[in-house]
Amino acid sequence: MGLMDRVEAGIGERKLIRRGDLVLVAVSGGGDSIALLHVLHGLSTRGGFRLGVVHVHHGLRGREADADAEWVKMTSWRLGLACVVHGVDVRARAKELGESVEMAARRARHEVFAMESERQGAASVALAHHRGDQAETVLLRMARGAGVEGLSGMAPRQVFQGWVAIRPLLNERSCELRGFLAAHGLGWREDSSNAEREATRNRVRHELLPWLERNLNPAVEATLVRMAEVFREEGGLLEQRTKRLLAGVRSGMRVKAGALLRLPVADQRRVIQGWLFESGVPPGVIGFEGVEATRGLAGRGGRSSFDLGEGFRVQVAGGELSVEKVAEMKTFSPVELEGEGRWRIEELGWEVEVESGVGFQRSGGKVGQVPAEVYLSARAVKGKTMRVRSVQAGDRIYPTGMTGSVKLQDLFVNEGIPREERGRIPVLEVGGKVAWVCGYRVDRRFAVEGPDAGSVRCGVFRVREG
């Protein structure tokens, strides 16, 4: 069975597209998205659906990205399809929001897809995720300790806020997609950033998966994809069970602690996850630690509470659990540190000073207090972007003198720092990784190698008047 026949069968089996639907195809210009566009174009006539094309120009790769946009527009024109190109300054957005470029780019794409879905009345947006992407996703989530839902990977159909994603190529290999293009004399664009090893997903793609194929299982990609499908199907059954159990322990938007604790532990965890999600807590905030803390809270008498993260607090009172939104965390605008010099954190009235040297000095202090300083390995810092920013959800540090890592949220809780003040504690980021929290110990990945090794000193102090 050829590629088009397999995709058509998958679309029908999963009911991804119906007759009369308008489907927007997200086309980057790369081989996978170009293959998706041509396959869906070939199937659209007999499938009775219509196509449009949407391209997001992230403003990150200069002329190369300009050429990608022109390629997508020309390819769409040749197929007789309308193409919409949205330009977004992702780097500026990342700086403004205090998040990674990758996260800002993903957020921008989702906003564009939602906007165009509403404007054009599209039933869905087709994404070119394939079997390799699915395997990478499962590995990344596995490394982060995901449960059944996380290990189910990307779904063939997924509902987001304001738009619906479909993934008709999830069972296809990237090499087969490019073989399809080559066999039909169809060209595509190569994104040079896909070869860079800085991004975690690229390291999984170029290093981890090939190593696993060579040393563990030659068919590891297919195995991970099958595992994701099994988890997705089992997750569906567990979700139905969880909904029934949650209905039995709820009292309005609250949960009866005693009834919750009478359930098996696995059911307790799933019920808590479902309840927190229905209470408006984002999935990325809940986490295993939050679920366990909620279970512990349910077993306490009297009145008690803990901060879950991102302004959500879970409390127990009168034998019932509830969730409330607390005061917003105060933050400050991120500051890029380029070379040596001084920079102001205007909202705090503080300054950051960076200078090069040799060796290091040990300095004590308390998290968040100034003045404070840290010495980083010049080798570890070389060529990487440095900036000072507020804490972000999921931030972790690997402190010197300790094994494992510490979530910054847990660090702040242990230090007794009120939630609304945590965003005002400077976090030093190097190459997208947390290197230091003001007043705390250095991340061991950036520790100076010895007294004679090159170092970079970063100090934080109050603005010197006059």
Task: Give mean pLDDT, residues 231-243.
Answer: 92
Worst-scoring range by mean pLDDT, 34-43, 94-103, 223-232?
94-103
Q: Is 459 helix (H, G, I), strand (E, B) or coil?
A: strand
- What value does the mean pLDDT take over residues 36-41? 96
71 close to 29: Cβ distance less than 8 angstroms: yes
Angle (deg, nearest 10), helices 62-78 and 31-47: 20
pLDDT of residue 466: 40
Mean pLDDT of the chain: 90
Q: Which is higher by pLDDT, 37 or 415?
A: 37
Percent of the residues in the chain that have a pLDDT greater than 70, as a whole number:
97
**Range of 32-46, 178-192, 347-361 with top mean pLDDT:** 32-46
Q: What is the pLDDT of residue 198?
A: 64
* Banded model confidence at residue 325, pLDDT cuts 50, 70, 90: confident
pLDDT band at 364 (very low <50, low <70, confident <90, very high): low
Is residue 353 within 8 A of residue 370, CB to CB? The reply is: no
- 196 pLDDT band, cuts 50/70/90, is low
111 or 148: which carries more pLDDT confidence? 111
Q: Is the pLDDT of residue 455 over 90?
A: yes
Average pLDDT over residues 453-466: 82
Q: Contact at 8 Å (CB) between 229 and 223?
A: no
pLDDT at residue 112, rounded to an integer? 95
Instruction: Give yes or no for residue 238 having a pLDDT over 80.
Output: yes
- How many angstroms separate the CA atoms of 390 and 429, rounded? 10
Q: Is the pLDDT score of 360 beyond 70?
A: yes
Quote the pLDDT of residue 195. 65
Query: 């799933």: which residue's tokens?
Result: 270
Is residue 465 scored above 60 in pLDDT?
A: no
CA 157/CA 167 separation, integer angstroms: 6
pLDDT of 423 strictly over 70: yes
- Count of alpha carbons within 13 angstroms of residue 91, beta-carbon side: 6
Mean pLDDT for 316-340 is: 87
DSSP summary character for residue 465:
P
Question: What pLDDT was estimated at residue 421?
Answer: 84
Confidence of residue 323 (pLDDT cuts 50, 70, 90): very high
How confident is the model over 266-289, as a mean pLDDT? 88
DSSP code per residue over 28-74: -SSHHHHHHHHHHHHHHHHHT-EEEEEEEE-S-SHHHHHHHHHHHHH
Query: Can you tell me the mean pLDDT for 221-249?
Result: 93
Can you tell me the distance from the alpha carbon of 412 to that of 315, in angstroms, rounded to the nearest whole number?
A: 19
Quick one: how far is CA 167 from the chain centroid? Answer: 18
Q: What is the mean pLDDT of residues 374-397?
A: 91
Phi-psi region of 125 (alpha: psi -120 to 50; beta: other; left: phi over 0): beta
pLDDT of residue 295: 94
Q: What is the 3-state secondary structure (H, E, C) of 338-361?
A: CCCEEEEECCCCEEEEEEEEECCC
* Structure confidence at residue 309 (pLDDT): 76
Task: Give the pLDDT mean for 300-316.
Answer: 84
Residue 75 pLDDT level (bands cut at 50, 70, 90): very high
pLDDT at position 197 is 65
d(CA 130, CA 185): 21
